[in-house]
């Protein structure tokens, strides 16, 4: 049994600026922005665990973690967009502030059971999470727009007090059973269920005739309830040989989402079926030499915010809209590793590479109007991928007690998105090299020299 208490307080001051260029089919924008933020986080945390061996073949472990904290934030932002002749298109000044409390409680338990038959096991997992967050803040934003002669054509001001309350309750369990088919073959099957009930209440208030923030802005206020439950099951095989070890199988996940708009009395329902195939094989070529090949596939469903976003005006120049036709993406990950280490000579050669590609990748589609206002949503695209190669050589020069190493790396990829209905493709690659010399004396100073490119 073990328990501990932690107190944590952090104050962060942050400043930064950003300059970017937006190249559209018929116009060009230069974007400049600055930010200055001040954040305070404070929390009290209690945690502990209880680990007990029930008998010679079974054990139980329980973990408990509780946290209570406060946070505050004050931020100042400025932004401007310039045209291709550096004429002013728009500018913005924003102030955001918030303060709030949060509570969190996590509990997990796992029971493990071994049987007299070697390799036969049974485990049952349970976990619970509770989270509560309440904040009150202020948004003050002034947005100005200019005509082609640089004269201000319009402006708008947002001055609101915002209160946010979120709460979530998550319960889940999983049972897993492993059975030996022979001395070298094993099969593992599992089933899990998880349910997440949460709610989010957002209220925005503007000033009344007496200057008090008591008039509800219904456009940017919402009251949602979310229900999310999943059933998952899987079947996996494992082979343990003297020269080869391998595993393969798949899990399948059935997910159901339900989003209720309690203000408008409307309900959105979404369902997804997720697959998680995987395969791994390792060739043992010696005591310290081996080759490993692996493949993992997984689906990733869009978030509710991407499908049906909650309206938000904290940045009036950047507004998100939903896409109810958004499909889930499927990610393929292929990897290879090789390692050859000679203990007596202190020499090591290693190589690693991987290729990842995505079907129906979820990507952004931006639309920018003549005054630099951006509206964005998420769409499915094909052709996104990335890759990496890393190799190196390491040698210990025992006579002079010095280590030498050299490595090369190469990575790249391609991403696709849309800007004003025009496909935008970004292809990138990087090459790097590194060499180093290390010399260490027992109980004395360590000398190191590195060269990177």
Domains of the chain as residue ranges with CATH = 2-452 (2.40.170)
Judge contact between 249 and 285, C-beta under 8 A. no
Give the length of the chain. 453
CA atoms lying within 13 Å on the CB side of residue 207: 10
Buried b (16+ CB within 10 A) or exposed e, 415-440: bbbbbeeeebeeeeeeeeeebeebee
Judge contact between 181 and 188, C-beta under 8 A. no
Q: Which residues pair with 135 in a beta bridge?
A: 100, 164
**pLDDT of the chain along its 453 residues, tens only?**
888 999 999 999 999 999 988 888 778 889 999 999 999 999 999 999 999 999 999 999 999 999 999 999 999 999 999 988 888 999 999 999 999 999 999 999 999 999 999 889 999 999 999 999 999 999 999 999 998 888 899 999 999 999 999 999 999 999 999 999 999 999 999 999 999 999 889 999 999 999 999 999 988 888 888 898 999 999 999 999 989 999 999 999 998 989 888 888 888 888 888 889 999 999 998 888 999 999 999 888 888 778 877 777 888 888 888 888 888 899 999 999 999 998 888 889 999 999 999 999 999 999 988 888 889 999 999 999 999 999 999 888 877 778 888 899 999 999 999 999 989 999 999 999 988 887 766 555 555 555 666
> Which of 224, 206, 223 is closest to 215 using CA atoms?
206
List all residues 6 or more positions away from 119 whose beta carbon is below 8 Å from its beta carbon: 178, 179, 180, 186
pLDDT single digits (tens) 348-369: 999 999 999 999 999 999 998 8
């Amino acid at each position: 049994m073990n328990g501990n208490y932690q107190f944590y307080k952090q104050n962060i001051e942050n400043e930064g600026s950003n300059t970017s260029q937006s190249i559209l089919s018929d116009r060009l924008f230069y974007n400049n922005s600055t930010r200055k933020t001040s954040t305070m986080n404070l929390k009290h945390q209690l945690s502990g665990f209880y680990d007990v061996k029930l008998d010679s073949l079974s054990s139980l472990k329980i973990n408990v973690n509780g946290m209570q904290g406060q946070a505050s934030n004050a931020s100042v932002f400025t932004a401007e967009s310039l045209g291709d002749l550096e004429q002013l298109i728009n500018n913005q000044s924003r102030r955001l502030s918030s303060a709030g409390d949060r509570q969190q409680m996590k509990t997990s338990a796992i029971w493990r059971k071994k049987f007299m038959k070697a390799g036969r096991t049974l485990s049952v997992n349970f976990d619970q999470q509770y989270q509560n967050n309440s904040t009150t803040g202020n948004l003050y934003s002034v947005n100005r727009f200019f005509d082609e002669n640089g004269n201000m054509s319009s402006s708008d001001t947002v001055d609101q007090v915002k209160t946010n309350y979120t709460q979530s309750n998550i319960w889940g369990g999983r049972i897993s059973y492993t059975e030996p088919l022979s001395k070298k073959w094993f099969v593992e099957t599992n089933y899990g269920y998880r349910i997440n009930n949460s709610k989010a209440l957002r209220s925005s208030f503007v000033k009344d005739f007496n200057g008090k923030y008591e008039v509800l802005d219904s456009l940017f206020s919402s009251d949602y309830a979310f229900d999310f439950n999943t059933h998952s099951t899987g079947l996996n095989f494992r082979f343990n040989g003297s020269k080869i070890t391998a595993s393969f199988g798949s899990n399948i996940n059935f997910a159901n989402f339900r989003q209720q708009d309690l203000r408008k009395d409307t309900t959105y329902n979404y369902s997804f079926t997720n697959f998680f195939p995987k395969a791994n094989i390792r060739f043992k070529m010696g005591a310290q030499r081996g080759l490993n090949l692996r493949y993992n596939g997984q689906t990733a469903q869009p978030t509710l915010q991407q499908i049906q976003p909650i309206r938000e005006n904290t940045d009036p120049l950047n507004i998100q809209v939903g896409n109810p036709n958004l499909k889930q993406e499927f990610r393929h990950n292929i990897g290879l590793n090789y390692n050859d280490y000679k203990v007596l000579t202190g020499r090591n050669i290693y190589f690693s590479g991987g290729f990842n590609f995505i079907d129906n990748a979820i990507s952004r589609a931006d639309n920018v109007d003549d005054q630099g206002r951006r509206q964005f949503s998420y769409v499915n695209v094909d052709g996104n991928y990335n890759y990496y190669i890393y190799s190196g050589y390491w040698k210990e020069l025992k006579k002079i007690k010095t280590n030498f190493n050299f490595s090369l790396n190469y990575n790249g990829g391609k991403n696709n998105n849309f800007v004003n209905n025009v496909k935008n493709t970004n292809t990138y690659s990087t090459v790097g090299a590194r060499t180093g010399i290390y010399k260490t004396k027992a109980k004395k100073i360590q000398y190191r020299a590195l060269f990177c490119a």
